[in-house]
């Protein structure tokens, strides 16, 4: 059993929960339950589902007001870059969520890409828990304070740009080859599957990407391929 003092997290974030079980559930990963069934806890996936919807609405509303001259496509690209796994896991790390995660012994040892997914999911689960406990305005403020500061970096570094499209343009211009993507393998159980996709220029495997969906994995592969090629 992992002992976590969630009152410290409440103090750090400034949100004191009326229903403490909701807060604990937001940090409970499915893997933890397998080793601690006697605690009678629930994992955070339902809260993540709810928080994802709240996050999308708050972010969409914010971008719609902030950029009145941008097209639907541009706003969608901005939103995707702001609520993707990398940005959400950074935001979760900034508020020290990693220190409070309830994980299996195996998951607790893995601090790589898998931990990013876990933290991004927990960030959404916390939003869902906050929404249920204190309402929309509290969830909105938490998102504004802890996620929207990343928007400047997204815009400055053009993280919103579709990596697949840009890589294809560069590949055709510099190599006269159209990239193709292949699913190399799938890992994890059905409820938490990850796809490993490779991007090829002809027979050359340029880079691999991992994601919750094949589309996300392809984007990640394209981003890595751009760096690999120096494009």
Q: In angstroms, how far is the first alpha carbon of the chain from the final one?
A: 48
Are 44 and 25 in contact, with CB atoms under 8 Å apart? yes
Q: Which of 52, 121, 133, 210 is catalytic?
A: 52
- Calculate helix-pair angle for 113-134, 136-146, nearest 10 degrees: 140
- 121 carries an active-site annotation: no
Q: Which residues contact 82 (CB under 8 A, 6 or more apart)?
A: 59, 63, 147, 148, 150, 151, 154
Tokens of 124: 């959404």
Are 140 and 196 in contact, with CB atoms under 8 Å apart? no
Which of 192, 22, 49, 211 is closest to 107 using CA atoms?
Answer: 192
Q: What secondary structure does DSSP assign to 129-174, as a single string?
A: HHHHHH-HHHHHHHHHHHTGGGHHHHHHTTTTS-HHHHHHHHHHHH
Are 129 and 25 in contact, with CB atoms under 8 Å apart? yes
- 45 carries an active-site annotation: no
> Which residue's structure tokens are 């509290």?
138
Q: Which of 48, 107, 121, 124 is catalytic?
A: 124
Instruction: List C-alpha distances in Å: 229 to 144, 165, 178, 204.
Output: 36, 15, 14, 12
What is the set of active-site residues?
52, 124
């Amino acid at each position: 059993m992992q002992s976590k003092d969630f009152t410290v997290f409440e103090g750090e974030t400034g949100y004191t929960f009326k229903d403490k079980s909701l807060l604990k559930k937001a940090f409970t990963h499915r893997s933890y339950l397998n080793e601690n069934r006697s605690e009678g806890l629930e994992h955070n996936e339902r809260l993540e589902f709810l928080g994802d919807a709240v996050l999308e609405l708050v972010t969409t509303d914010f971008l719609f007001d902030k950029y009145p001259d941008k097209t639907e496509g541009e706003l969608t690209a901005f939103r995707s870059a702001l609520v993707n796994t990398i940005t959400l896991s950074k935001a979760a790390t900034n508020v020290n969520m990693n220190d409070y995660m309830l994980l299996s012994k195996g998951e607790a040892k893995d601090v790589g890409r898998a931990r990013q997914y876990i933290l991004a999911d927990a960030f959404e689960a916390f939003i869902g828990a906050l929404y249920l406990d204190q309402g929309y305005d509290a969830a909105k403020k938490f998102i504004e304070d802890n996620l929207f500061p990343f928007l400047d970096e997204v815009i400055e570094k053009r993280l919103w740009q579709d990596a697949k499209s840009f890589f294809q343009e560069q590949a055709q211009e510099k190599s006269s080859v159209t990239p193709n993507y292949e699913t190399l393998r799938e890992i994890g159980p059905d409820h938490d599957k990850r796809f490993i996709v490779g991007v090829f220029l002809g027979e050359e495997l340029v880079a691999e990407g991992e994601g919750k969906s094949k589309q996300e994995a392809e984007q990640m592969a394209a981003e890595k391929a751009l760096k690999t090629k120096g494009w």
